[in-house]
Chains A and B, each alone.
Chain A
């Protein structure tokens, strides 16, 4: 069993005792694989004066050259021959560029196993079959967005009886399927099986507002759940308050806030983080978070806001060991009232230049749009 497999197969995803050494060893293992599989990555490490054996303590993790997700949007960098990539996914990229990532079999199996244990730990998985509403895109050949795959996979954590999509494939693109969702929902409400909502928060909010407008209130079966993730994009002009959303969910669907789960994940960092009752994303033992200065990228002390840098040895097929996302976050270790002893991060904002106006020729196209 590889060190990586051992790290990711521990039953309690958050327990760190005894996992520190293992984490560092697994990091060295994956970094070595990444470098051996890609001359380009080996060159990056060499140029920045880093080699895997330099990882001796947790403090050394910051020395791994961090790669922004933007890099993967512009460059393809695989560490295994492309035929070994079992799954390819693209980041949803609100507009413009999308990262293309690829996972080999070992990364996929380990990641999927860890995800299953993570969901089981949080009692999200169920052996009772469910009726699903997917608040996102229906899987289709013409769309490789990772969010589709995530939502589709998530619905598999309980056997699905039926499944309806907010955005239905019409062969070439997508149609908004509010009528279909409404109809499915009214049908599901009469069934004894729990209902699960999976997908983007903004679509959930839109659905709740539609139900409210039409005066529809449902009492969905016990163990029904709402699983949200993927960021508050697209409707970002309409700022959605989390507390208001949870109230609406209870009022319109009869689902209590304990059954509402908000996840964070990224195509370039395919692990799940769950927002606790106190609003924190606790960090499992198989990943680390470094917050970096928005100017210098130097690591910042606890409590200071900066760019979110994830460290994990999960992926052997791409150099995703140290990835900086577009998110601005803070890191905390203070005991959390929710009882989870693991350190956590809080998301504050996304970096970016949305709404900026320019009249310099061809310049608009170069703004990285959010």
Chain B
């Protein structure tokens, strides 16, 4: 489903609009961007309409409860309170008026939009493509969205509703529903954009880099990995926190705990720890009903059985429990788990943290550190030096607070330029 000038277009009409995209974007940029206040007011109204989108989400395959929870989350993310706080936190400090220490001419640093953003969105969370556009609007940009293939028209519908409550936004939002394999069209979208905002895995990021010419910036929100690091005595309550994150997120998010690195070189200690962890995970799994049914559990059972058959060659121990499994392996490497409550436990002595994690460069996201107080500072420092961007208690790994940096930066700040002007 395509959206141009507030109208839903079929593919033929969208094709014509795409041919004239350069002009349409130029036209939009002639007019002053809508104020952040205008966008916030429109978002609030859109949030209030949340309930009407529930059937759409259910049609897209979500359970009613999940759909309601998603809408509630969206409403909160679109609330005036949160958007205003974000603008202040993420952009406030960038604006300034001062006299430089090495020049007599006073200056003002003010913010201006980058111009035109092409959002190449991923399909891993409902509504995220439209939200990426809203972030672009808040910062005054013209936005072109290429929705994910499994979007089912949701983004175009959400954004057309946004235009219907605030018509002045209509020429600043374009949705072109074209397959990313259509590189000729994708290049046209990129050619009129100042920056490509890409969400997704390696393939999406690589695609965007190929698409954009050297004069077009690339803003990457790639996939990440998160884990727990444990050293010394670990209490049951702390492990329970890890298990809660694993069960609630099914290990599907960038911020989900994929497994526990244990500060040890002793295989026996590793396996004993894994057994204990599996007991706690089994209890946590029983307490947290999974949104995924028998088909997923059956698939995990087959994968565990296959690992078990392969395992003896690899020094691996599969601890299968009801509704979950722990895979203990004497292998010092960061990898995603098999997800759906199947964390790994691997050894990572502290003196090898840097060497092991540095190769994962921009892949690292959240780490939860469980260790005695006296080691906390040194281990945190090592994890940060390795590239981790968030440290928190395990049960909060996947909870975002208002103003949380996204993968090490403030998202809105990436969509603006800081313009320096002289004050006379």
Contacts and interface: CB of A to CB of B under 8 A. Distances in A.
Interface string B187-225: 000000000000001100000000000000000001111
| The 6 nearest A-B residue pairs measured at CB | A351-B298, A363-B336, A294-B298, A361-B223, A357-B124, A68-B302
Interface of B: 61, 122-125, 150, 201-202, 222-226, 251-254, 256, 258, 292, 294-299, 301-303, 305-306, 309-310, 312, 322-323, 335-340, 363
A71 interface: yes
Which of A44, A67, A353: most chain B Cβ within 10 A? A353
A360 B305 contact: no
Contacts of B201: 359, 361-362, 364-365
Contact of A74 (B251, B310, B312, B339): B310
A351 B61 CA distance: 17
Contacts of B124: 357-359
Interface of A: 43-44, 47, 65-68, 70-71, 74-75, 294-297, 305-307, 324, 326, 328, 349-353, 355-368
A364 B299 CA distance: 15
Contacts of B223: 358-364
Which of B125, B253, B309, B338: most chain A Cβ within 10 A? B309
7 contacts: A296-B301, A349-B295, A352-B299, A358-B223, A359-B252, A360-B256, A362-B223
A358 B222 contact: no
A361 B202 CA distance: 8
Which of B61, B258, B294, B310: most chain A Cβ within 10 A? B294
Nearest to B61: A355
A360 B224 contact: yes
Contacts, number: 128
A366 B336 contact: yes
Contact of A67 (B224, B309, B323): B309
Contacts of A67: 309
Contacts of B226: 360
A295 B310 contact: no
A296 B298 CA distance: 9
B302 A362 contact: no
A324 B201 CA distance: 32
Given A352-B295, A359-B254, A295 B336 contact: no
Contacts of B150: 355, 357
A360 B310 contact: no
B75 to A, nearest CB: 21
Given A353-B296, A356-B252, A71 B306 contact: yes
A327 B222 CA distance: 34
A96 to B, nearest CB: 13
B339 A294 contact: no
A311 to B, nearest CB: 16
Contact of B305 (A324, A359, A361): A324
Nearest to B200: A359
Which of A44, A295, A356: most chain B Cβ within 10 A? A295
A360 B336 contact: yes
Contacts of A75: 310
A303 B295 CA distance: 17
Given A68-B306, A71-B306, A368-B303, A359 B122 contact: yes
Given A358-B253, A362-B336, A74 B299 contact: no
A357 B125 contact: yes
B304 to A, nearest CB: 9
Contacts of B305: 66, 68, 71, 297, 324
A362 B309 CA distance: 24
Contact of B322 (A295, A324, A351): A295
Contacts of B222: 361
